[in-house]
Amino acid sequence: MALGGWGMRRREFFGFAGGAASAWAVNAFAQQMYRVAVLTPSHTQWQPRTFRDAMQELGYREDINLNLTLVSGENQLDRMPKLAADLVASAPDVIVAVNTPGTRAAIAATSKIPIVSAIVADPVFLGFVANIARPEANVTGVANMAADITSKRIALLKEVVPSARRFALLTHPDEPIVALQMQDIERSAPALGIEYRAFPMRTVEDLQRNLQLAVEWNAQAVVRLAGQGFALGAETGRLATERGLPSMLLQKRDVEAGGLMSYFADHRELWRRIAAHVDRLLKGASPRELPFELPTRFELFVNLKTARALGITISPLLLARADEVIE
């Protein structure tokens, strides 16, 4: 009887001990302050709400077990190396490096702190890693593989404006990934039946001047290539529409601002996956063994009000494929 009673008490004891250990582990996770720094070329090039929400779903609470620091170059790319060096000196646990300039600056500043490269086009082409499946460096991340869908973006715009032959390509002259996008366009141009010309831009003034040059070249459509200058996206769509040019842009907000359409990787999905990478690194995973992830979902947005202003009729079939039709 006594022995049976001890057996019951022993089970209760170990059950209590296991529960206490589990509670201790959860409490320890909550009490440890993890330090994550985001290094971005500008505030517009990351999605704070999506990232924060994803981190919260993974158990992180700002000012409780997460210290999140944002460092932005405010579109001044020459500031990035110094900002990265200062950030490394503060010794965060993980650096989230946004786009090509952020990643390049972070890699130059540290070979020890884990880096999550966020929304770069092609990490191998850019020289960040030798292999996306096994980075073998302190860098892992999430790519958008923008160059691989360039011809698809043009084909969608061509589907909406089948008579268009001359396409003005708005590019950033300091963006290395433009070369891959141009290669894709060069390969696909004969099949698409288009001519094209690149117009480089860094500022709104460049954008305005180049759109006028595109009009003088008799461009019939505008395509914003991926790369630096996301802050100009909304202006691109609005100004192109004012000049009677249908536009293919990069983000929903560009279409909402007056552009015709956009097709690109779903950045909300990518930022959730970036948060998952950060979580795994904070829990002890090595970036050397975390593969770069590639996009699996792409979004199509269409502005019907802009289409009507341009005198364009969009087929019901394409509208049915759109993730959202803006009216």
Partner residues linked to 157 by β-bridges: none
Amino acid at the residue 20: A
pLDDT at 185: 96
Short-list 56, 103, 112, CA closest to 80: 103
> What pLDDT tens digit does each residue of the chain (327 aa) get?
444 444 444 444 444 445 544 444 445 555 699 999 999 998 878 889 999 999 999 999 999 999 999 999 988 889 999 999 999 999 999 999 999 999 999 999 999 999 999 999 899 999 999 999 999 899 999 998 878 899 999 999 999 999 999 999 999 888 888 999 999 999 999 999 999 999 998 888 899 999 999 999 999 999 999 886 555 667 899 999 999 999 999 989 899 999 999 999 999 999 999 999 999 999 999 999 999 999 999 999 999 999 999 999 999 999 999 999 998
Angstrom distance (rounded) from CA 6 to CA 241: 81
Angstrom distance (rounded) from CA 248 to CA 255: 9
Strand bridging mode 115-120 / 94-98 = parallel
The pair of three-digit structure tokens given for residue 189, joined into one six-digit string: 């141009």
Tell me the pTM. 0.84
The pair of three-digit structure tokens given for residue 172, joined into one six-digit string: 């950033």
Buried/exposed 153-163: b ≥16 CB within 10 Å, e otherwise? bbbbbbebbee
Q: At what angle do helices 48-57 and 267-282 cross, to 10 degrees?
A: 50
Q: Is the dihedral of CA 41, 45, 47, 48 positive or negative?
A: positive
Angstrom distance (rounded) from CA 215 to CA 294: 36
| Four-point Cα dihedral 120, 124, 128, 134, nearest 10 | 110
- Cα dist from 180 to 146, 227, 283, 301, whole Å: 9, 11, 36, 24
The full set of domains in the chain, from first to last, is: 12-145+267-289 (3.40.50.2300), 147-264+299-326 (3.40.50.2300)
Q: Where are the alpha helices (DSSP H) in 161-259?
A: 178-192, 204-216, 233-242, 252-256
Angstrom distance (rounded) from CA 180 to CA 176: 8
Short-list 190, 198, 144, 141, CA closest to 167: 198
pLDDT at 77: 86
